Structure 1
Amino acid sequence: MFHASAYTGTREENYKLLISQLSALIEDEPNRIANLANAAALLNQFLERINWVGFYLIEEGELVLGPFQGLPACVRIPFDKGVCGRAASLRETVRVADVHQFPGHIACDAASQSEIVVPILHGERLIGVLDIDSPEKNRFDEKDQHYLELFALKLAERM
């Protein structure tokens, strides 16, 4: 349905196409797990130089592993732990150029070097976070952050 070869434009054009593809995937589907699973798969085939992409959802006051692509991951993350916990607590995106320099980083995959975590908010309500890891340092920049925040916003509309 969606192929990486479709992304032949500029970075901005490719991200806009990605968000359009997400919209088409989730438009008529009310099930959030199905939508998150497709969103993780879509990001996995779109983003280069990543080793993990997925979601953690709020459940009983902590983050609980949701749909993802990559190696097995930590199942539960308290709000006061790791990059995911920080992004959830602050309700803002956290980009980490070198995870080994981040106090309290949770290493689920030893290959991870950098990370971006985007909160998923529906109005004021925190639903969860989008977490993406890369095996290279400083993988994520402002442009990634901007478009991944738009991706999360689009996803939140269906949740």
Structure 2
Amino acid sequence: MNKTLLNRQLDALLTGETNLIANLANASALLFESLPDVNWTGFYLYNESQNELILGPFQGKVACMHIKVGKGVCGTAFSSQKTQRIANVHTFPDHIACDAASMSELVVPLISGRRKIGVLDLDSPKLNRFSKDDEQLVETFAQTLLKHLPA
């Protein structure tokens, strides 16, 4: 998928919309429809009072609803504030298996200034599905998305 085209589509889709849930829902749908060999794309949003990530808008099968910060791939990405690109989730310490069919995962933390929003999570039923190029594509996608989220 062309990074420039995907981000232009996202920007056009979200321009003028200020609702967080609507923007996240359309962003997850756009990724799900644009990327081959993914079985889940979506968001986990940070709940500061519970110190956990809560399931947000997504595309795919049912998912875990609560993830403790620092646990699993999503919790690790959030706590480290670093993208996690995992070739085989079954070798990742504390992996949380929401869908047994998922084999690889890419998780990008969402931060706007000092505000920690959550993570963007992509799963694939293929081992080693996500490349460095995919990582850059999704990180750029996340940055475009952040410009459209309410402060």
Instruction: Give the number of the structure with larger relative contact order, counting CA–CA contacts within 8 Å between residues 6 or more apart.
Output: 2
Query: Partner amino acid for 1:100?
Result: H
Matches of residues 45-124 of structure 1 in structure 2 within 5 Å? 45-59=33-47, 60=49, 61-124=51-114
Tell me which of 120, 138, 142 is aligned to 2:132.
Answer: 142
Aligned pairs, how many? 147
Question: Equivalents in 1 of 2:19, 2:62: separation in Å?
Answer: 23
Q: Percent identity at matched positions? A: 56
RMSD: 0.8
Distance (Å, rounded) in 2 between the aligned partners of 1:145 and 1:134: 13
Equivalent position to 1:30, from 11, 18, 22: 18
TM-score scaled to structure 1, two decimals?
0.90
Task: List alignment gaps of at least 5 residues for structure 1.
Answer: 1-10
Paired with 2:128 and 2:75, the residues of 1 have a C-alpha distance of: 20
| Aligned AA (1:90) | S
Superposition TM-score, scaled by structure 2 size: 0.95
